[in-house]
Each structure stands twice: as C-alpha cells, then as structure tokens.
Amino acid sequence: MLALPPLVAEPIFQIGSFPVTNTYINSLVAVLIFLVAGFLLRKKQAMIPRGFQNVAEGILEFMLGYVDRVTGERKKSLKFLPIVGGLFLFILISNWMGLIPGTGSIGRWLLVHGEQELVPIFRPANSDLNMTLAMAVFAVVTSHILGIAAIGFFKYANKFIKLGDLYRSLRKGGINIMIASFEFGVGIIEVFSEIAKMVSLSLRLFGNIFAGEVLLTVIAGLVAYLVPLPFMFLELLVGFIQAIVFSMLTLVYLTMATAELPTEAHH
C-alpha cells in the first residue's frame, strides 16, 4: 500500500522534551552547507576571484542587481540583501535537497499509532508548515522593525492607525472628519492585512512543496524508473520559482515599509 507523506513532520528522535523532526534535520543540513561555504569563502579570499569565490561573487552581484531594481537605491539594497538573499538561498537549497536520492526513502522503523512504520530521516524542510510560517513571520516582522527604524515609530504607526490625522480633522471639522474616519477604518484593515501576509506567504510555499512531495511519491510508487524524471525536473523549477516568489515579496514588504509617505498623503 502506498504511504503518502503526512501533513505534520515526523519526529525522528528527542533531545530531552524537544522533538527533532525530519524536516528540522533537513533545515540543519541546509544551514550547515551555508556555514561550510562561508568558512571556505572567508579562508580563501583573493583579489582576483577564481573558482568557488568567483561563483559566489557572481551570485551576489546578480542578486544585488535585482534588489536594486525594486529599491532603486543601493544603500537600501545593501541593507536588504542579507535578509532577502539569505531567504532565497535557504529556500532554494532546502527545496532542491528534497530531490536528493534517499530523501523520503531512507529512514528508521518507529512505532507510530501502535504500528511499525518507516519514518524518513530526511524530508524537505519547507513541507513543514512550522518552517514556512516562521520564515513568513520573520519577513513581515523584520519589515516593520526596519520601517520604524527608518521613519520613526509615530510616523510608521500613522501608516496604519491614523490617530494623528483623526485628531487634526477634529479641529478642521466638516468633511475632514468623515475622510479621517474612513482612513482610520482602512488603517484597521491594513493591520489585518499584515497578518494575511504571513498566512499567504507561509501557505503558498508550504502548499507547493508539499504537493510536489506527494506527486513524486505517487509517481514513484506507480513507476519507479524513468517516468519520475520529468516530474523531478519540474520540481527543480517549482523550487526555484517558489524561492524567488517568497524572497521578492519579502523585498517588496521591506521596501514599502521603509518608504516615508508624504505628510498630507491620503489613501
């Protein structure tokens, strides 16, 4: 009988009361890859880049150029690149690691719901909603922190809860009060839209990666040889696209949050 991957990541072992899941192991391997790459780049720096250093600098220059197109300002691009580039590379590596032979098939026999089941040791990190939700919360919260740092707390808060505009409208009276009241209501909706950003970011990435995992499991269960290859190439493309979508939306949130609105701007 074909066993489809469950929605919830499966624990492989525990450290005290902390369960170490197969998706968490995959994410740790991805982080380890970055640590090794960073160590190698730091150890072997040359004025004329060659080999791995040349590739790494080429990737950074390419990403910096794309960030510039959104921010329109090199200073902001340099500030946002570690966040956006880090998310992009982590998501990309995590997605592609799910296609390495042995992922989803090599595991431990564990007692699950009273029955012995083969639990895979490695599973794509982004097929765990906890992982994608954590990255989405990080992206949105970071955009607010940088927005407050860039334009000040009260100016930034006025983008959402327009108490200042409402107070000034009381002195002007008439139609100004009605306009300010509408803007105050829209600001409340904007607060909920920030929560919607986290939900949509996390569910989009999780849904695509989990669906790809299920698809490959089904295809491999029906025909084990050659037939799954086109679907694996498709998953390579999907993993790349999802990494771009997540990182570019994060970049847009960062850029919008740090942009100062005109004092008398009305939505």
Q: What is the pLDDT of residues 55-85, one digit of tens each?
A: 888 899 999 999 999 998 899 999 999 999 9
What number of other Cβ atoms are within 10 A of residue 49's Cβ? 15
Q: Tell me the range of 114-118, 135-139, 235-239 where mean pLDDT is highest.
A: 135-139
Q: Which residue has the higher pLDDT, 174 or 141?
A: 141
Find the helix or strand (DSSP H, E) in which 229 lies: helix 228-257
Model pTM score = 0.85
Q: What is the DSSP string of 38-102?
A: HHHHHHS--SS--THHHHHHHHHHHHHHHHHHHHS-HHHHHHHHHHHHHHHHHHHHHHHHTTSTT
- Asked if pLDDT for residue 139 goes beyond 90, the answer is yes
> Do 63 and 81 form a contact (C-beta atoms < 8 A)?
yes
Q: What pLDDT sits at residue 141?
A: 95
What SS3 class is residue 10? coil
Among candidate residues 242, 249, 257, 181, the one with its CA nearest the CA of residue 212: 242
Spell 60-96 as b/e; 16+ CB within 10 A means b: eeebbebbeebbeeeebbebbbebbbebbbbbbbbbb
For the purposes of burial, counting CB atoms within 10 Å of the CB of 165, is it exposed (0-12), middle (13-18) or buried (19 or more)? buried
Q: How far is CA 243 from CA 89, 108, 167, in A?
A: 8, 30, 43
Structure tokens at 183: 């803007």
Distance CA 263, CA 265 (A): 6
Task: Answer positive or negative: Cα dihedral of 78, 74, 139, 204.
Answer: negative
Q: Which of 71-80, 171-180, 218-227, 244-253 has the lowest mean pLDDT?
A: 171-180
Q: What is the pLDDT of residues 111-128, one digit of tens each?
A: 676 777 778 888 889 999
Q: What pLDDT sits at residue 207?
A: 93
Q: Which of 40-54, 141-155, 198-212, 229-243 has the lowest mean pLDDT?
A: 40-54
> Do 106 and 120 form a contact (C-beta atoms < 8 A)?
yes
- Asked if pLDDT for residue 243 goes beyond 80, the answer is yes
Q: If you average pLDDT over every residue of the chain, what do you get?
A: 84
